[in-house]
Structure 1
Amino acid sequence: MSKSSHWSEMGEWSMIRGMRFLLRVYLLLGRSALQWFLYPVVSYYWLANKPGRAASQAYLKRVAKLSPASDLSGSLLDSYRHFICFANAIIDKLAAWSGALTLADVDYAGRGELLAQIKTGRGAVLLGSHLGNLEVCRVIADMDGAPRINVLVHTKHAEKFNRLLKQTNENSGLNLIQVTDISAATSMLLSDKIDNGELVIIAADRTPVSPHPRVSRAEFLGADALFPQGPFILASLLKCPVYTLFCLKQQGRQAIYFEHFSELLTFPRKTREHAIQQTIQSYARRLEHYCLMEPLQWFNFFDFWQLIDKESDEQ
């Protein structure tokens, strides 16, 4: 397998121009017509992207070992199904952006506790992932009286995506914030948003883009992998409740799972690294649980365990 040093070097095939084009196709011709565009593109991408294809197979083989009932083996066919699932997730993103996806299309688990928290007037941090489709939260953001939702993203195209969101819905309560690393300025900005009763969503399953990222090892799908410390340190600095958030597609419907993760994350100075590692391990267990529930919906098409392997080779 060709190895990249970091997931961000692999690039994104769904850049802003392409997303704008796909959105227009979706709005004009509907989902069925859009699939005629998406499937050839994804098929080509699957054939051309050898590292992504190999990473997909390696991930699915880990799933197969832990969950024989999944009927997955990590074959080329399984990998192709994985990419096609990604294509359908893009259509769901467009549906969420355009307003075609409504509250009636979404099921919830654990929403009551989060709503109770919101009613206190103080916001919360939601730990997301690249499992499923976080864009489904757009539906929640557009509810009457819903709190503003801020999503931290690593893409440099955050402002362009924000403009695209506004083009489809001027009153959207979803705001994308581009960050390459979590700094003191980021913490201050988000602290204000928490104080205003807003929600902050950050994916906790990709290491930062910065050259010297702060990471911890955690067991995930049967082997150690590196997870970012930043989301958890940020949550501790914001001094607010923390929840996990997973948005999956199940039986043709969107399902959002909220779980209370911690009322307040604290990392004592003397045991700081150990406490952070244990917290990250708890998150990794929940991510694994939901990955095994819908394995084809984890869209990390790079070798997630690669940096651990490299580290071991160097020792």
Structure 2
Amino acid sequence: MHQRTPHWKSRPERSNRLALGVICWIALRLGRRVARLVLWPVAAYFLLFGGTSRRASLDYLSRALGRRARWRDAWQHIFSFSATILDRIYFLKDRFDLFDIEIEGEPLMQARWESGRGAMLFGAHLGSFEAIRALGRRIPDQRIALTMYEDNARKVNATLDAVNPANRPEIIPLGHVDTMLRVKDALDDGALVGLLADRSLGDEETRPITLLGETAQLPVGAFRIAAMMRQQVIFMAGLYLGGHRYRIRFVPIMDFGEVAREDRNRAIDAAMHAYAQALDECLRQAPMNWFNFFPYWPSDSR
């Protein structure tokens, strides 16, 4: 089944390098407290004039909160998104000292690193991926590679060049002839290969999963790659808890290295549902962290 909602890739990007440069200057010269004051009018602007995003926010929050969401809920949602973008600047500058960061599942990641095996980290457009880099402070020799589509890779590189070009992570662009070979080489080298598994490009196969008590469509591709490469899949999330607090979460999903070929399809289904369950728990515990500001659930699922 294919996703029937308007596709996220058709939504225009509202950011640009000039605006990012201004925000970086304020954040790094005047400090985080002053920079956060700027987020108030920014969040208010997008709440008032971002009609589609506001409606998607209210629809999602009504599911996550278990009640009809109000405008102040949507404002808090948008503000949280803006706050994680601001904090990205400090994470890219390695200013982890500004934050109180809790890591759930650290023994899992330590054991995986000690084994010398690579693993695939499946995230979502949830919270802050940059906060997850705090793991590198606990395991400094850990190699992390990110897979993303070329347009997104260019935007990420532009962001990093504006903030800290020396701190650019390894990025493997998707859709190239050698993409899978580069992913395999990184995994064989013991790297963590991260990707966001919650969005479809619109023309790939999806399967129904239950998220916040209702049916949504989750793309299959990432899980097939993990199964084909017989890799361990770990759910990852960097949840923003307000103020200067973050909670990083790692949850084991599936080790496809232990799955027989004839059981692969059942294992893919099980992994997709385990991923959805881990995502569901995050959304219920920290609902302001869901940053898919477009209709995610089919309109007839309500």
TM-score (norm 2): 0.87
Check conservation: 1:236, 1:267, Cα contact below 8 A. Answer: no
Match status 1:116 vs 2:148 = no
After superposition, give the CA deviation of every residue in 1:266-295 in whole Å (9 maximum; x if it has no partner).
Answer: 5856873x5433321221111001110000
Give the corresponding residue for 1:125: 120
Residues 151/17 of structure 1: CA separation in 2 closer, same or farther (3 Å cut): farther
Letter in 2 for 1:146: D
Structure 2 distance, partners of 1:102, 1:231, is 34
Q: 2:280 aligns with which of 284, 288, 291?
A: 288
Q: Does 1:192 align with 2:201?
A: no
Q: CA RMSD in A?
A: 2.7
Q: 1:271 to 1:150 in 2, by over 3 A?
A: closer
The one-letter code of the counterpart of 2:195 is I
Hey, what does 1:220 align to over in structure 2? Answer: 211
> Tell me, what secondary structure is at the counterpart of 1:57?
helix
Note if 1:47 corresponds to 2:39. no
Provide the rounded CA distance (Å) in 1 between the counterparts of 2:206 and 2:295: 16
Q: Higher mean Cα deviation, 213-222 or 150-159?
A: 150-159
- Displacement of 1:223: 1.3
In structure 2, distance between residues paired with 1:254 and 1:241: 25
- What secondary structure sits across from 2:207 in the alignment? strand
Counterpart for residue 88 of structure 1: 83
- Please say if residues 54 and 74 of structure 2, whose CA atoms lie closer than 8 Å, have aligned partners that are also in contact: yes
Output the amino acid matched with 2:286: E
- SS of equivalent to 1:261: strand
Which structure exhibits the higher relative contact order, with contacts defined as CA atoms closer than 8 Å and separated by 6 or more residues?
2
Give me the whole-angstrom Cα distance separating, in 2, the residues matched to 1:92 and 1:119: 30
Where does the alignment leave 5 or more consecutive residues of structure 2 unmatched? none
User: Which residue does the alignment assign to 1:29?
Assistant: 30
Decide whether the 8 Å contact of 1:153 with 1:177 is kept in 2.
yes
Corresponding letter in the other structure for 1:56: S
- Paired letter, 1:174: P
**Judging changes above 3 Å, is the alpha-carbon distance between structure 1 residues 271 and 144 closer, same or farther for their aligned structure 2 residues?**
closer
- The equivalent residue for 1:7 is 8
The Cα shift of 1:241 comes to: 1.6
* Greater alpha carbon shift after TM alignment, 240-249 vs 168-177: 168-177
Cα drift, residue 236 of structure 1: 1.4
TM-fit CA distance, 1:44: 1.1
- The answer to whether the 8 A contact 1:129-1:246 is kept is yes
**Correspondence 1:145 to 2:149:** no
Q: Give 1:203's aligned residue.
A: 196
Contact 1:219 1:284 survives alignment (8 Å): yes
Kept after mapping to 1: 8 A contact 2:208/2:218? yes
| SS across alignment from 2:103 | strand
Hey, what does 1:244 align to over in structure 2? 235
Distance 1:173 1:26 in 2: 19
Q: Matches of 1:54 and 1:44 in 2, distance apart?
A: 14
Question: Which of 246, 253, 256 does residue 254 from structure 1 map onto?
Answer: 246
- Output one character per residue of 1:148-197: Cα deviation in whole Å (capped at 9) or x when no partner: 21122346142353354366446537223343x5x663221100001111
The AA in structure 2 aligned to 1:30 is: G
Contact 1:16 1:157 in 2 (8 A): no
| Aligned partner letter, 2:36 | Q
Q: Is the 8 A contact 1:218 1:277 kept in 2?
A: no
Aligned-residue offset at 1:140: 3.1
Distance 2:206 2:241 in 1: 32
Inter-partner Cα distance in structure 2 for 1:75 and 1:131: 21
Instruction: Compute the displacement of 1:248 (Å).
Output: 1.0
Change (3 A) 1:19 1:176: farther
Cα gap change, 1:164 to 1:80, in 2 (>3 Å): closer
Structure 1: gaps spanning 5 or more residues: 66-71
Partner of 2:291: 299
1:148/1:174 contact within 8 Å kept: no
CA distance, structure 1, for counterparts of residue 137 and residue 167 of structure 2: 6
Using the aligned pairs only, state the percent identity.
28
Higher mean C-alpha deviation, range 95-104 or range 197-206: 95-104
Mapped to 1, the partners of 2:29 and 2:37 lie a distance apart of: 14
- Of the structure 1 ranges 281-290 and 152-161, higher mean CA displacement relative to structure 2 is found in 152-161
Q: How many corresponding residue pairs?
A: 296
